[in-house]
Each structure stands twice: as structure tokens, then as C-alpha cells.
């Protein structure tokens, strides 16, 4: 039915893992539907509404999903869940007649969506913890390696490679915490019927004498949800509150945003004249069909491309939540078939793409050192300014002296990159500076190699914090 002569989503084969695709597959959805129907039947058997043999018959055939047969039936009845009921019933000669007793479609669909969402979050969290583990290793390994920091994409002051990597760590830790929180709070609709009032279940549980019941509808619900291992919203309409989808997609978009920044920074640092970092490049990898020498940051660019799409999805979920009129409209149904699997599959791809980049990140030490040699002197002027102030100089006056000499030196090296930076000579011969510090100390202070403050310590602390958070 589906082959390469028809449109296939790139998520079908190009992006996302097989594990995540299985979670959002048509077969897995129907397996979850059947699991819920079995749980409902078993809970109803507990209360004497159906027989144990009927419930057992459903359980015996719960794994016998036949998507093709269900699609044949759907072509006639024009209702996918009802088609699955009929396909399931055909397989269950004893219990087929009690499938879906008292239920509405979303009693099944929404609980299945909640289960699938939680499973997908757990898989993504596993992958994110692995990514963070490798990031912690990189932070620790490069905690002391000095490099230029850039503000406004211009040389600023030195930092360390490990400290820069720590910035991505703090973002991803925030994502980890949010995804864990959202995962822990995923709830199903429960078993509440067509408008959330449990009217059908209440009727089923009623005895002939008015006001007397075998059990309360919420007792039946509790039995079903306990079997599913899923907490239910205390109240619902025909569906669970669609704000849950919005919260989930926001958390996924947050993760996409963090990986977007890392990838974008990498693209900048791989570009010339930076040339300090690069993503790994395979021995047989082709960078360009036209230019054989090219080593393009294609994985980082792919992360940026896909992350932009993820960022757009919470808006659709917002509309679904805000436009869910009264007890329910169906205008969220079609797009939820798209946005939920797409968000998870794309985030799965983003993490999987980022992981080898971080694990095998190429840091070009010569380029890093070269940038420090060219621009570090300018950065170290702050260090000189602090010592001049400590020696009793007017901070504002010295700032202006240093500024003037820095601009002169900057113009010289920008005109001719082969020229040695004249700034140490200019400052070490300025009488206003020499009134407070000897020339040799001025030159020493302008060496920025170790001017990284407590960045190495903070980087190591960040690595330790990551390991504590992931429990690895």
C-alpha cells in the first residue's frame, strides 16, 4: 500500500529512531487500544458486569492486531476505532460482544495517547541522559583549556572550552528537569464516557432499585487505570484537557531550542576565520557535490532546520487547548495525529544527531591558541585596569588611556594580520600607566593565557552536577 512511489514522510525512514517510530506506529496504537479494552473488561468482570471467560477471551487475542483487516472495515464504517472494535470482535467468539461496553471513543484513544506520550518521554529522557553524560566528560576534559570568548560575535575576554560547554549543560539540565516533570505528570482521561460524566458506567452499575449500585463509576475507573498504571484526570470532558499536549510540546520545544543554540554556535565556530571547533567528518563523507574540499557542518545545520519545525508545534497544541469548545469538538483530531508523533520523532532525531557531535567534538587546539595570541592581549587589558586601580590610579582615566591605545593597535593588526600586536609596547611606554606600574609588570599583565577567573572550577562543578542529575 505504501512504497516509494507514494509520498512518505521523512519521519517514516529518514529522521527519528526505529524505537520511537514503533511507539507511534499504527500497530502500537491499536495494541494500546486493545490493552485498554481488556483492562475495562477485566474491571467489569470484577464487578460482575461481564464474565471472566469473556474478559479472558479478549486478553487471549489482545496481541492479534490486523491493521489491514481493520482498514477494510474502516472503508465501510468510516470510523477507525469502531473498525478496530469489529476486527477485534471477529477474533473473540466469546468476548467480542462486550468490547467497549459503556465506553466512548476517547475513553480508549485518549488513555492510549497518554500511555504513548509517557513511553515516548521516557525513551527521550534515556537518550538525553546519555547525551548529558558525554557532555559532562567533554566539560571535564576541557575545563582548563583557555579560549577566546565572543560577545556580539566579537572577541571579548578569555574563557575555557569546558566553561563554554557548561553553558549548554545548564540549558540541557533545565530541559531534563522539565521533561522529567512533565513525564511524571502525564495523566489519562480515565473512564468517564461521552461527556465526562460517567453516565453510561453509572447506568451499568445500577441495580433495579432506584439509587442502588453495584459500585460507583469511579470505582470502575480506578480498577481500569490501576491495570494501566496510569493516573486519571479527576475531571474531563469527552477528552482529557488538551493543555496537557501543550505542556508536553512546550517541553519538547525547549529541548529543541537548547540543541539549536549548541548547533548554531558550532556552525559559527566551524566557520572561518574562527575555525576553532568542528563536527566530526567521516573518512568517506562527501561535503559538496561540486567542491570536493568542503567540510560542511551538515549535522549542525540539520539540527537547526528540524528544531525550527519543533518550535512551531506548541502553537498548534495551544490552539487545540484554547479552541476545545464546551465538552469537545473534533477539530483537534486530525492535527494531533501529526503534531504528537512529529514532535517526538524530531526531538529523538535532534538528540541522536547531537550525541556523536558532542562525543567526538573536534577542538582545533592550534586555532584556539592562535585566537588567544591575536586577541588575548586586548582581553587582558581588563586585568591591567584592575591592577592600575588597585595601585591608586583613577579608573576612568586609565580606561580612556587603554581604550585609545587599544583602538590604535586594533587598526594596525586589522590592516596587516602579519603585524605583531603593538598594544603591549604602547601601554608599557605610556607615562600615565608607568606612574603606577613598572613596564615589565604591564607586559606580564597583558598575557591573557591564565585570565579565565574561576571558569575551570565552575566547569568541573557543572560536570559533577550533570552526573548527579542523571544518576550516572
152 labelled catalytic: yes
Please identify which residue in the block is written with the cell numbers 561535503. Answer: 287
C-alpha 394/C-alpha 446 separation (Å) is 19
Q: Residues 4, 152, 284, 431: which is the catalytic one?
A: 152
Please, which residues have CB within 8 angstroms of residue 358's CB and are 6 or more apart in sequence?
131, 134, 135, 138, 262
Residue 158: phi, psi to the nearest 5?
A: -70, 150
Beta bridge partners of 150: 155
Burial 429-457 (b: 16+ CB within 10 A, else e): ebeebeebbeeebbebbbebeebbeebbe
Q: Closest by alpha carbon to 427, among 452, 409, 451, 448?
A: 409
Query: Which of 191, 24, 25, 189 lies closest to 100, judged by CA?
Result: 191
Grid cell digits, residue 414 = 586589522
Q: Is the dihedral of CA 432, 434, 435, 436 positive or negative?
A: positive
Evaluate whether 198 touches 217 at the Cβ level (below 8 Å).
yes
- Cα 432 to chain centroid, rounded: 54
Q: What separation in angstroms does the CA of 144 have from each of 277, 359, 381, 440, 462? A: 16, 18, 21, 26, 13
Residue 180: CB atoms within 10 Å: 17
**DSSP labels, 286-339:** -S-SS-TT----HHHHHHHHHHHHHHHHHHHHHHHHHT--TT--STTHHHHHHH
Cβ count near 94 (within 10 Å): 15
Grid cell locating 85: 472494535
Q: With contact defined as beta carbons under 8 Å apart, do 392 and 421 qualify? A: no
Beta-carbon contacts of 412 under 8 Å, excluding residues fewer than 6 positions away, are 419, 421, 422
The answer to whether 258 is a known catalytic residue is no
- Which cell goes with 429? 611606554
User: Which of the residues 9, 288, 305, 429 is marked catalytic?
Assistant: 288
CB within 8 Å of 272: residues ≥ 6 apart: none
Q: What's the CA gap between 248 and 321, in Å, rounded?
A: 12
- Interstrand relation of 146-151 and 154-160 (parallel, antiparallel or unpaired): antiparallel
SS3 state of residue 4: coil
Catalytic residues: 152, 288
Amino acid at each position: 500500500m505504501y512504497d516509494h512511489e507514494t509520498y512518505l514522510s521523512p519521519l517514516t525512514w529518514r529522521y527519528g529512531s526505529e524505537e520511537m517510530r514503533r511507539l507511534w506506529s499504527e500497530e502500537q496504537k491499536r495494541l494500546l487500544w486493545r490493552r485498554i479494552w481488556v483492562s475495562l473488561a477485566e474491571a467489569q468482570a470484577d464487578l460482575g458486569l461481564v464474565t471472566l471467560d469473556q474478559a479472558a477471551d479478549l486478553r487471549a487475542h489482545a496481541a492479534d492486531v490486523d491493521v489491514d483487516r481493520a482498514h477494510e472495515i474502516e472503508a465501510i464504517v468510516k470510523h477507525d476505532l469502531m473498525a478496530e472494535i469489529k476486527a477485534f470482535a471477529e477474533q473473540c467468539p466469546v468476548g467480542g460482544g462486550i468490547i467497549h461496553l459503556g465506553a466512548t471513543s476517547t475513553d480508549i484513544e485518549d488513555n492510549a495517547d497518554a500511555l504513548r506520550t509517557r513511553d515516548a518521554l521516557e525513551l527521550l529522557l534515556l537518550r538525553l541522559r546519555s547525551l548529558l553524560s558525554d557532555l559532562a566528560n567533554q566539560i571535564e576534559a576541557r575545563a582548563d583549556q583557555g579560549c577566546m570568548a565572543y560577545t556580539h560575535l566579537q572577541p571579548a575576554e578569555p574563557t575555557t572550552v569546558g566553561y563554554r560547554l557548561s553553558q549548554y549543560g545548564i540549558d540541557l539540565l533545565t530541559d531534563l528537569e522539565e521533561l522529567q516533570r512533565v513525564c511524571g505528570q502525564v495523566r489519562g482521561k480515565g473512564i468517564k464516557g461521552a461527556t465526562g460524566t460517567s453516565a453510561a458506567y453509572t447506568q451499568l452499575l445500577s441495580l433495579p432499585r432506584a439509587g442502588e449500585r453495584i459500585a460507583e463509576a469511579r470505582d470502575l475507573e480506578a480498577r481500569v487505570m490501576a491495570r494501566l498504571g496510569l493516573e486519571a484526570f479527576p475531571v474531563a470532558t469527552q477528552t482529557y484537557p488538551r493543555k496537557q499536549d501543550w505542556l508536553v510540546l512546550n517541553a519538547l520545544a525547549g529541548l529543541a531550542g537548547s540543541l539549536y543554540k549548541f548547533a548554531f554556535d558550532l556552525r559559527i565556530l566551524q566557520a572561518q576565520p574562527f575555525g576553532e571547533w568542528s563536527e566530526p567528518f567521516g573518512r568517506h563523507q562527501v561535503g559538496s557535490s561540486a567542491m570536493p574540499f568542503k567540510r560542511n557542518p551538515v549535522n549542525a545545520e540539520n539540527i537547526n532546520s528540524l528544531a525550527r519545525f519543533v518550535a512551531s508545534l506548541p502553537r498548534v497544541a495551544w490552539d487545540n487547548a484554547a479552541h476545545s469548545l464546551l465538552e469537545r469538538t473534533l477539530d483537534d483530531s486530525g492535527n494531533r495525529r501529526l503534531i504528537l508523533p512529529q514532535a517526538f520523532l524530531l526531538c529523538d532525531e535532534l538528540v541522536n544527531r547531537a550525541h556523536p557531535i558532542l562525543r567526538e567534538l573536534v577542538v582545533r587546539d592550534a586555532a584556539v591558541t592562535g585566537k588567544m595570541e591575536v586577541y588575548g592581549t586586548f582581553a587582558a587589558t581588563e586585568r591591567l585596569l584592575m591592577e592600575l586601580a588597585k595601585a591608586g590610579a583613577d579608573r576612568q582615566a586609565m580606561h580612556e588611556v587603554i581604550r585609545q591605545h587599544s583602538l590604535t593597535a586594533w587598526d594596525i593588526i586589522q590592516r596587516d594580520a602579519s603585524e605583531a600586536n603593538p598594544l603591549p609596547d604602547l601601554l608599557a611606554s605610556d607615562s600615565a600607566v608607568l606612574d603606577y606600574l613598572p613596564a615589565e609588570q604591564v607586559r606580564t599583565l597583558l598575557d591573557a593565557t591564565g585570565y579565565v577567573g574561576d571558569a575551570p572550577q565552575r566547569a568541573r562543578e557543572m560536570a559533577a552536577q550533570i552526573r548527579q542529575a542523571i544518576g550516572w
